[in-house]
Structure 1
Amino acid sequence: MNQPQPVLRVPLGRDLLGFTQLLRRVRIRHRVVEEGDSQVLWVLDPARVEETRALYERYPDGDPQGQVKAERRSAGVGLLTQLKASPISAVFLIITLALGLATEFGDNLALIHYLTLQDFRLIDADHIAFLDLDVSLSRGEWWRLVTPIFLHFGVLHLAMNALWFWELGRRIEFRQGGLMLLVLTLAFAVGANLVQYAWSGPALFGGLSGVLYGLLGHCWLFQWLAPNPAYRMPRGVVAMMLIWLVICLTGVFDLLGFGSIANGAHVGGLLLGCATGTMGGALARLRQR
């Protein structure tokens, strides 16, 4: 699968502003990341790597006279390029969407019981009985530690989680690679699901939100310790997510009849993400010295 490609490595003192403005004008998606005493320019579309190198040879300080003309590119090509540049993020979203449709967004209990943390059986139309988690794990059903993240109870629930995963997952995949995103996602899934289980006991829960808080915490602390363009969030994003977490913890949504929130998963994911972000950011900071 295609991956973002490093194209240029220049000293930290080299001003790349003019050249990056040229790249934006000709619609070459890119990022500049500080690594040690250098700046590394990455291009997200591997098909445009040689074009970027050629442009730098001719216009290292940019093109203020506008000699280079931008090509018109269709939105479809842009989307395909993004998917190819972020394959792990794309695959997770495809799996999430497929299982959301297959489980009928929470209505197909015949399939859902294979994906929940605890297996269950129906007692009647309004009651279910959960099997002990230890029993399921002793039968080799270790996938249950992860699969609740693919359960979503409603189209809006899935859409919001998918958008946030695409935004945060691509950042990590670009900065630290697809393997790191995969490892973090699975670790946050297991941790968030187990914390939710300890928090509320046997319950039917699911969704990517615990993982999302993990990815958020990872980017937040990593960026704080080792600033880099990939993890730089728009102002207010972290504050908004933390405020939302606090509001959910008040129990107001239960009182208003909107359904229970998996607060344990949110808190567990966030704490794990802050821990991995601290470790990753500290290591990156040491390498920059």
Structure 2
Amino acid sequence: MNQPQPVLRVPLGRDLLAFTRLLRRLQIRHRVVEEGDSQVLWVLDPARVEETRMLYERYPDGDPRGEVQATRSPRGFGLLAQLKASPVSAVFLAVTLLLGLATELGDNLALIHYLTLQEFRLIDAEHIAFLDLDISLSRGEWWRLVTPIFLHFGLLHLAMNALWYWELGRRVEFRQGGVMLLLLTLAFAAGSNLVQYAWTGPALFGGLSGVLYGLLGHCWLFQWLAPNPAYRMPRGVVAMMLIWLVICLTGVFDLLGFGSIANGAHVGGLVLGCLTGLLGGGLARLRRS
């Protein structure tokens, strides 16, 4: 038997009537009880807990304009509703997928040439000569600080990064808006790429992993300082990602012949994300107090 789960805890003075009307319209079974100086909203169907949290983050005062359709999937937001609610995440992923296909997942060197941090030319089948980054930047090619995140070397690499960006990016977009998500993505991209460059020197690397670790660190520490439904992650997610980072740092994948991991980008993204999470969460906590 499914057990009710607490989803929201808000002050007694907060009017939840309009929001509970939205829940009734969407047929999300719930109840609100008073506990001390707070109201706690319980959802009776565990499969709809995360949906309810995201609904409250997006529509805390209900949905008077009828933007949320009652004909959605019973287990959460339907695809069209999710795309409408997270346009920046959706557009960014569309660009990532298109560039992944255009670069033939790492095989189209003619296009990859324009997206790498450093411009390069082939010497022979096994050797690449890189141009100094300073020279490219002096030519005004500042996009190179960001564009390596669109390079993916294999379908699994692209699919996993896209799924994680959709999961983490939507949370930031719900809580802090699309503009903030875009700014954080660009900052984490440039920062993690430069850390990777400092870590290994000239090398051909790419992927969204540095940005993902940045978003993870941002949500993690923001939630620690200013708890909110959007940044509350399932148990074990942060621990799993940190354990994966440590395993990658050991170099075991290089030894097993699975290819190099952009550890510098992972570490750089995580550190930057933790810093932005501390800043954003600290400011949110001050506003609440």
TM-score (norm 1): 0.81
In structure 2, the residue matched to 1:168 is 168
SS at match of 1:122: strand
Cα distance change of structure 1 residues 176 and 74 upon mapping to structure 2, 3 Å threshold: closer
- d(CA) in 1 for partners of 2:147 and 2:85? 25
Q: Which runs of 5+ in 1 are unaligned?
A: 1-10, 34-38, 54-69
Count of matched residue pairs: 254
Give the aligned residue type for 1:12.
P
Cα distance change of structure 1 residues 173 and 127 upon mapping to structure 2, 3 Å threshold: same
**Percentage identity across aligned positions?**
77
- d(CA) in 2 for partners of 1:133 and 1:190? 13
- d(CA) in 2 for partners of 1:147 and 1:127? 22
On the 8 A contact 2:16/2:61 being kept in 1, the answer is: no
Structure 1 segments (4+ residues) deviating >3 Å: 14-18, 26-30, 48-53, 70-75
In structure 2, the residue matched to 1:147 is 147
TM-score (norm 2): 0.81
* Alignment partner of 1:97 is 2:97: yes
On the 8 A contact 1:31/1:229 being kept in 2, the answer is: no
Give the aligned residue type for 1:193.
N
Q: Deviations over 1:174-219 (max 9, x none)?
A: 1000000010000000000000000000000000000000000000
In structure 1, the residue matched to 2:7 is none
In structure 2, the residue matched to 1:50 is 65
In structure 2, the residue matched to 1:12 is 11
In structure 1, the residue matched to 2:44 is none
Give the aligned residue type for 1:32.
Y
SS at match of 2:90: helix
- d(CA) in 2 for partners of 1:42 and 1:273? 30
SS at match of 2:60: strand
On the 8 A contact 2:88/2:182 being kept in 1, the answer is: yes
Q: Deviations over 1:76-114 (max 9, x none)?
A: x92122111111101110110000000000001111010
Q: Deviations over 1:148-198 (max 9, x none)?
A: 000000000000000000000000011000000010000000000000000
In structure 2, the residue matched to 1:222 is 222
- d(CA) in 1 for partners of 2:126 and 2:61? 54
Instruction: State the Cα RMSD in Å.
Output: 2.7
- d(CA) in 2 for partners of 1:133 and 1:222? 34
Deviation at 1:72, TM superposition (A): 4.0
Cα distance change of structure 1 residues 42 and 101 upon mapping to structure 2, 3 Å threshold: farther
Deviation at 1:12, TM superposition (A): 2.0
On the 8 A contact 1:31/1:230 being kept in 2, the answer is: no
Give the aligned residue type for 2:60.
L
Name which of 6, 27, 32 aligns with 2:56.
32
